[in-house]
Chain A
Amino acid sequence: MQIKGFIDTTFLDWDGKVACTVFTPGCNLRCPFCHNHGLVLNPEQYEDVKEEEIFDFLTKHNDFIDGVCITGGEPTLQKGLDKFCERVKKLGIKIKLDTNGTNPTVVRRLLEKDLVDYIAMDIKAPLNEEQYSEVSGVRCEVDKIRESVNLIKNSGVEYEFRTTVVPSLHTFRDIEQISRDIKGAKLYVLQKFQPRFAMDRGLRNSRVLSDDDMKKLVKIISCNVDKAFFRGK
């Protein structure tokens, strides 16, 4: 698997766990608010991290590491993803997958092979072709997104759906609509948009939602999902 970044210890990326995070290059979406756009647009600027280096660390410290978070980019585009996950699982370490849900086939395969323990799937916009494509910057097949949502909901593994709330792209009603689109989900997390790192320069000066705004939104979505909260300062 191609890996372009490795954080050996983090308390940030997987709640309740001591985790590592690996970053894979490339993405099939072009969300203007993406904060990892270097990995999406010019992954060649980063040096490859050798898998062996990661597995050396994991083998040495699997008495501390609870889990590995695989994020990107979009990890489901990676050819060696299954193999990487298998190796990690063999060490008794759990796996969290971040995905945009555009590859339900890969998600299904990983679930069937019991290779993931937690899935965090981004929901970019209400599940209709027009809005989804606008927010994710490319033409999107919403059916596939919906398929991934259903797969994950019924998988039996822990999961969260999450949305980065961008004031100029999302209205409160949009967020409410998303919560209806994923109705019955166990966990829906809203993330505060960090304009400073946005791919689209035009967004870098946009306003940041206040904690109060975020709390209001959480309240709005709460009736459609089992649990909801927001992340971010």
Chain B
Amino acid sequence: MIVSNDSTDAALFVKVSREDVVKWDRKSIVEALLRETTISPELAEKISKEVEETIIKSKIKFITAPLIREVVNGKLIEYGLEEERKQHTRLGLPIYDVDQMLISRNRENANVPHGPEATNLTLAESIKKQYALLKIFPPEIAVAHEKGDFHLHDLGMIDRPYCSGNSLEYVKKFGLSLPNAISISKPAKHPEVLIGQMIKFSAALQGNFAGAIGWDAVNLFFAPYLVGVDNEKLEQLAQMLIFEFAQQSVARGGQSIFSDLNIYWEIPKHFIGVPAIGPGGKFTGNNYEDYIEESQKFAIALFKVYKEGDGLGRPFFFPKPQVHITERLFKTEGYEDFLYLISDVSSDKGNTYYVFDRGETAKISECCRLSFKLEKSDFEDAKTPWKMRYSAMQNVTLNLPRVAYEAGGSDERLFEIITERMELMARAHVYKRNFIKKLLDMKNQGPLSLLSMNRDGEPYYRLHRATFLFGMVGLNELVQYHTGEEMHESNQALKFGLRVIAFMKKEAERLGEKYGLRFVLEQTPAESTAYRMAKLDLEHYRDEALTVVKGIVEKNEIYYTNSTYLNVGVPLSPIERVKKEGMFHPLIEAGSLSHIWIGEARPDPGGIASFVVKTFKNTQNDQIAFSPEFTSCLDCGRTTRGL
């Protein structure tokens, strides 16, 4: 603000945002209104005079610029200038909230530790969230999110895409050469250096993606660096890789990198005949199938590390090992022992995720429940594996129980509402895409310079390959409210659930064509969303919600069942669970998962291996993981092992 000439009281001082204290100047109000809003100059003058009168009349000696702005906003409301008021909004937080935040724990994300970095993240996210809801999305979408019709995930990270699948080949070929970095590395010659580059790059990527950073065929891509490496060294390298990932909680917001390592026992079909890249980023002259021995040895070494756990013998939460179970695995020598080893890790630590790639499909699994089916164009990519970079742009989750409440028992109305909601969700995807595209188009000068770097004829982030996700929460409660039975209670109820998801899939495809984007369903990994939706429905649809909500209402420990899961509280045979939940999985292209709780005792690895093989052969289930006894706090969404 500039010192005023015509101010009647020169003694009033204003504390401004650029850390200065200046004298009162009414013109600053006019300037701001004209700069930021579409108001007429005459009205701006008028409003500024009225504001001045109010403030001067109060005889205060000191005022902050944000407060003046709010007083101006008050005037804009008096004049009915809603749009101008919105344009003139100031984003921020009450001091009480900040105080709470700095001192208490983040309740939304179990992976966020409490510390200065963590509160930085929370504060930044809360501002960006407000920005997204006011500026990126139109009011009808923002309101639908706020009311809880659906949930726009990662609004606090509005300026990044959701998650990514990456290829180590990119790092091997191009080294670590990030835009605007103060130093760059050439392609690694040694496996230790490659590990270092992979982890630095992961950390950099985590700064550009809200969700998981997945790595495909890690053991295979490391293999050309491991020729002639003895077992002791191999295990040390495996330790380096896992510990370095696991201990990256010094990164953004004090969080671990949400990392996945995809592991294959066999050489995946799409990498056979593909020239291998080795030390120095050069082609070795061999194909990937020539490195099966090193690839398998490294896979074993990695799982030995998972088996041992961290320095206290506890499981590693990240990076998650995702083993692909394929027809080829069963034709590859030594698979029985490998299955036993990874099942032993399941039994002891719970880490292993079993990803089932049946028939000719192959998937690159990313965050805990996200996988992509390799399509024809992906097989083309596989010939140049450094190009195998995939991403989901955004995830929006539909609150299914509310749909049932509003439908009031009518099938017709139920499907109509789903269509209405998904139309709005699709539009939310378009807005997010356009915003990210705007940032990407600024290339090296923009905030997403890392994602727009171009080393191989394409930007790192391949926008045309991005996927957009439709998640769902509480299918079980929708079915329960609508049909009177939960999905585990009768075949009819289960069938109705399947009908709803099949309908959502069809709608996603229709909308995808309409908007020219790749829309697919995903099982939302959304414990906190399941809580948020249940809470909002208990407020706004109390009578209806009370009949189906899970948990303890009196203690406010409530939730809806995640995505398309069957009620997690009922004792259901693991066999029933993988079969029935698996029926939904072919409809949910971006990945799904069944959790098998294995309780307190340490089950026999051979039994687990047998169960895995049968799930592959006899069900449609997409992915399973075994969880030892754990404790979940419904209050804060935090999940910990043990009781």
Question: Which residues of A approach B to under 8 Å, CB–CB?
Answer: 8-12, 14-19, 57, 61, 63-66, 233
Contacts and interface: CB of A to CB of B under 8 A. Distances in A.
B611 A18 contact: yes
Nearest to A66: B610
Nearest to B578: A64
7 contacts: A11-B347, A11-B603, A11-B611, A12-B601, A14-B607, A15-B607, A19-B607
A61 B602 CA distance: 24
A88 B93 CA distance: 67
A189 to B, nearest CB: 12
Nearest to A8: B573
A16 B614 contact: no
A54 B593 CA distance: 28
Contact of B607 (A17, A61, A63): A17
Given A16-B610, A64-B611, A64-B614, A9 B604 contact: no
B574 interface: yes
Contact of A63 (B576, B602, B614): B614
Task: Please report whether the interface of chain A is mostly helix, strand, loop or mixed according to DSSP.
Answer: loop
A63 B618 contact: yes
Nearest to B626: A11
* Interface size, B (range): 10 to 19
Nearest to A7: B573
Given A16-B610, A64-B611, 15 more contacts: A8-B575, A9-B573, A10-B603, A11-B347, A11-B604, A11-B607, A11-B611, A14-B607, A17-B606, A19-B607, A61-B575, A61-B579, A64-B575, A64-B614, A233-B601
Contacts of B608: 11
A37 B235 CA distance: 47
Nearest to B610: A18
Given A63-B614, A63-B618, A64-B618, A15 B573 contact: no
Interface of B: 347, 573-576, 579, 598, 601-604, 606-611, 614, 618
Top 3 nearest A-B pairs by Cβ distance? A16-B606, A11-B607, A11-B603
B610 A57 contact: no
Nearest to B574: A9
A12 B607 contact: yes
Contacts of B604: 11-12, 14-17
A64 B598 CA distance: 16
B385 to A, nearest CB: 37
Nearest to B612: A18
Contact of B614 (A11, A15, A18): A18
B575 A16 contact: no
A17 B347 CA distance: 14
A12 B600 CA distance: 11
B279 to A, nearest CB: 42
B606 A9 contact: no
A11 B598 contact: yes
Contacts of B574: 9
A66 B614 CA distance: 10
Contacts of A8: 573, 575
Contacts of A64: 575, 611, 614, 618
Contacts of B347: 11
Q: B574, B575, B603, B611 — which one has the most chain A CB atoms within 10 A of its CB?
A: B575
Contacts of A63: 614, 618
A198 B609 CA distance: 32
Contacts of A61: 573, 575-576, 579
